[in-house]
Amino acid sequence: MKNILITGFEPFGGEAVNPSWELAHALGGEVIADTRVVALQLPCVFGVALSTLDEALVRVRPALVLAVGQAGGRCDLSLERVAINVDDARIPDNAGAQPVDEPVVPDGPAAYFSTLPIKAMVAALRTAGYPASVSQTAGTFVCNHVFYGLQHRLAGQGVPSGFMHIPYLPQQAAQHPGAASLPLETLVAATRLALHTALTQNEIRMGAGQLD
Amino acid sequence: MKNILITGFEPFGGEAVNPSWELAHALGGEVIADTRVVALQLPCVFGVALSTLDEALVRVRPALVLAVGQAGGRCDLSLERVAINVDDARIPDNAGAQPVDEPVVPDGPAAYFSTLPIKAMVAALRTAGYPASVSQTAGTFVCNHVFYGLQHRLAGQGVPSGFMHIPYLPQQAAQHPGAASLPLETLVAATRLALHTALTQNEIRMGAGQLD
Amino acid sequence: MKNILITGFEPFGGEAVNPSWELAHALGGEVIADTRVVALQLPCVFGVALSTLDEALVRVRPALVLAVGQAGGRCDLSLERVAINVDDARIPDNAGAQPVDEPVVPDGPAAYFSTLPIKAMVAALRTAGYPASVSQTAGTFVCNHVFYGLQHRLAGQGVPSGFMHIPYLPQQAAQHPGAASLPLETLVAATRLALHTALTQNEIRMGAGQLD
Amino acid sequence: MKNILITGFEPFGGEAVNPSWELAHALGGEVIADTRVVALQLPCVFGVALSTLDEALVRVRPALVLAVGQAGGRCDLSLERVAINVDDARIPDNAGAQPVDEPVVPDGPAAYFSTLPIKAMVAALRTAGYPASVSQTAGTFVCNHVFYGLQHRLAGQGVPSGFMHIPYLPQQAAQHPGAASLPLETLVAATRLALHTALTQNEIRMGAGQLD
């Protein structure tokens, strides 16, 4: 049986939980479209996050990779279109590093597009009643760092991969008045559908994929 | 057994559902703190909404009233502090009326405060992990109209009453990119807790109540 | 010659300036529609702000009063519709006081409406190309405190009075990424027009005024 | 004397003016740091905008290029970091074209970074009291199209170039309640300073430039 790799991050920025890991953990072990979901937690640390990912890519040999991160303040499941070759941190990562305007991969290209069918995934989510959108920026913190590194490692290998940002959980938003949130059950059901769409999409290179 | 009256609105503004009625309907028939929940749907129509409410107040003789309305764009359960004596509609109501700067009750006072323990309810919700806040304005559409009319009718009768705005459901937000949402399950669990808090609050006149 | 009284606040919340006082100070001494503008700075202190205002009302005997305050985050000139009888501070005032759910005036009515022609003022501003709107809440800090106290003192005296919130100045927004701003020149020209509209409005009781 | 080329767009989306062209036009003919400013209006049309730009690049032989566009809803001068190789229009351009997920330049790289010293420009603006920020996305409409095309044409030529988004003018915001704005005078003064900073910046490749 083929594997999907889904990654989530450990908590950061003073939060007690990270919805991306709660989501990945909840889906780990499920079988979606005859494909097993393998969950991986990544540290919220520049560099170490990518070496952790590297090890898992070798071990799991996934047919598809979805990296997930928390985007406090966003209101929906945001399928990221593009990863850029910049680390530019406004707060320190969990190891205290705070790179400014450094490349993720020296001499790497300026950007990589998602190779997931992000438009089809958003359309499927909305049709099923889940708020979702295509996002044009994954920021310049560890989320974008992992997204760029993932796309760089898998470039040309025919393994669809990409990144999705998700909102706070309600218990986090309870501490951040004015911030949107979605409960874990909603995130899990929506992501299950998004992964199913990505796995069964005939025109897997639809959406931004054609641009690579 | 005593009764709580919880009201929700029919859909308006082109929406297929109104989360406030879904919420009221879901709680109807439950018993919370030895009190039975009676659900009432209100038309989204100036005037008729209040005559519908009047009939129910006589019939149900509630020990507590919570009116609920949809606030597209808000991200949490918003306990309203104050109802003002103004109908000022930017869109027509469901009967086509669009009053501008008219009083809800001619010669009524400029405003009424909620007589629910709104600060205690918000605190209980946040502690339990539900996003909630006190709101300083219920707007000037049918929500505020019902809130003002409710407080006017119950003034001085010792029956705690007030208004809560809630976000879109996810299926609505799927059609309104950028808007926050919470699923019905979350709204039901949170409102059950809020009602329990209101019913068991010893200092029922805490919060804005002391100002009346 | 008749007088207009326009008030602005001293800086608070760590800011070096308060655009409301810069605005009031800039207009002080001007003659608008045969009426002299008298500017008054108010301390950002519960209670003392109102006693300062009281003294000026006796001394200036204004024909119209516009109190102005800073609303960091708002993007336009916001004509406030209603003042509520609540002091509920999230941060201490400039004297360190932080009242919670206290009345501005014990036994005062729940609210007062603006007696300025706020709809006509907004319409005139928009027609002239200035962003403006009617706001339904002046908050529960010193701004609302002054607004409520002003309306309470002038109730029934036939002197139009009200409150306007204004955005940050650009130099403040330069320190608050994501916050809107308008330069002083724009605020002065817009407010001059708004005051002219209020002074020359034949139907002075248009807008919310009819509700009093 | 060397030339700066500054471009602005014609109005689009139903607006009567485009602040980007008002800004470019106002600066045209000025001399900043011994460099003459040449203003160019671009049509808001995919393809034609770039052929218009091409002609001007040949004719003007600029030492620096700043393309400017309107970003309705933003509150500050946003120096864009990166242009991506995507045309994905939510509304038709001024010629009725609405490309979806097409490349700006077939077989072009996924992205180009700005070669302007965007961090230094933002720092200079903020120090002088103008709201400014680095933005991570120029969208996927004609603004990004021009930005990507510009960077593609000048790649490796040693001519610093980039894109800046600016807010609505106040007269536009007067028709879009809730939208931020800045008057032309503020935009002109701020952009003059930003261009001066870019021209005199010793480490011209600071900021994202080092990543190319």
pLDDT digits (tens, 9 = 90+) for D80-139: 999 999 999 999 999 999 999 999 999 999 999 999 999 999 999 999 999 999 999 999
Contact C179 D129 (CB under 8 A): no
Length of chain B, please?
212
Q: Nearest CA of chain D to the CA of C9: how many Å?
A: 21
**Domains assigned to chain B:** 2-211 (3.40.630.20)
Taking CB atoms and an 8 Å limit, are B139 and C137 in contact across chains?
Answer: no
Q: Which of A82, A110, A211 sits opposite D113 (nearest CB)?
A: A110
Contact D81 A86 (CB under 8 A): yes
Which chain C residues have a beta carbon less than 8 Å from that of B109? 109-111
**Which residues are CB-neighbours of C194 under 8 A, at least 6 positions away?**
C66, C77, C79, C121, C124, C125, C132, C164
Nearest CA in chain C to D174: C131
Closest residue, chain B, to A128 (C-alpha):
B171
pTM equals 0.94
Q: What pLDDT does A201 receive?
A: 86
Tens digits of per-residue pLDDT, B64-120? 999 999 999 999 999 999 999 999 999 999 999 999 999 999 999 999 999 999 999
- pLDDT tens digits for B126-163? 999 999 999 999 999 999 999 999 999 999 999 999 99
Instruction: Specify whether the CB–CB gap between B212 and B82 falls below 8 A.
Output: no
Q: Is B44 a catalytic residue?
A: no
* pLDDT (tens digit per residue) in A55-103: 999 999 999 999 999 999 999 999 999 999 999 999 999 999 999 999 9
Is the pLDDT at D210 greater than 60, yes or no?
no
pLDDT at position C201 = 86
Of B101, B137, B208, the CB nearest to C208: B101
**Residue D209 above 80 pLDDT?**
no
Mean pLDDT value across chain B? 95
C-beta atoms surrounding A14 within 10 Å: 7
pLDDT on residue C210: 37
- Does the pLDDT of residue A204 top 90, yes or no? no
Rounded CA-CA distance C82/C201 in Å is 20
Q: In terms of Cα–Cα distance, which of B78, B136, B74 is closest to C140?
A: B136
* Neighboring chains of C (3 or more beta-carbon pairs < 8 A): B, D
**Predicted local confidence at residue B201, as pLDDT:** 86
Q: Is the pLDDT of residue D174 over 90?
A: yes
Show the tokens assigned to D161: 């170039």
Q: What is the pLDDT of residues A24-34, one digit of tens each?
A: 999 999 999 99
Instruction: List the single residue in C with minimal CA-CA distance to B110.
Output: C111
Which residues from chain C sit within 8 angstroms of residue B119, using beta carbons?
Answer: 101
Q: What is the pLDDT along chain C (212 residues), one digit of tens a residue?
A: 999 999 999 999 999 999 999 999 999 999 999 999 999 999 999 999 999 999 999 999 999 999 999 999 999 999 999 999 999 999 999 999 999 999 999 999 999 999 999 999 999 999 999 999 999 999 999 999 999 999 999 999 999 999 999 999 999 999 999 999 999 999 999 999 999 999 998 544 434 333 33
Which residue of chain D has the CA closest to A85?
D211
Query: Looking at beta carbons, which residues of chain A come within 8 Å of D81?
Result: 84, 86
Task: Report the residue from A75, A176, A183 with minimal CB separation from B173.
Answer: A75
- Residue A78 distance to chain B (closest CA, Å): 11
- Check CB contact under 8 Å for B208 and C81: no
Nearest to C174 among D126, D173, D181 (CB): D126
Query: Which chains share 3+ C-beta pairs under 8 angstroms with D?
Result: A, C
Q: Per-residue pLDDT tens for D12-64?
A: 999 999 999 999 999 999 999 999 999 999 999 999 999 999 999 999 999 99
Q: Are chains A and C touching, using the cut-off of 8 Å on CB pairs and a minimum of 3 such pairs?
A: no
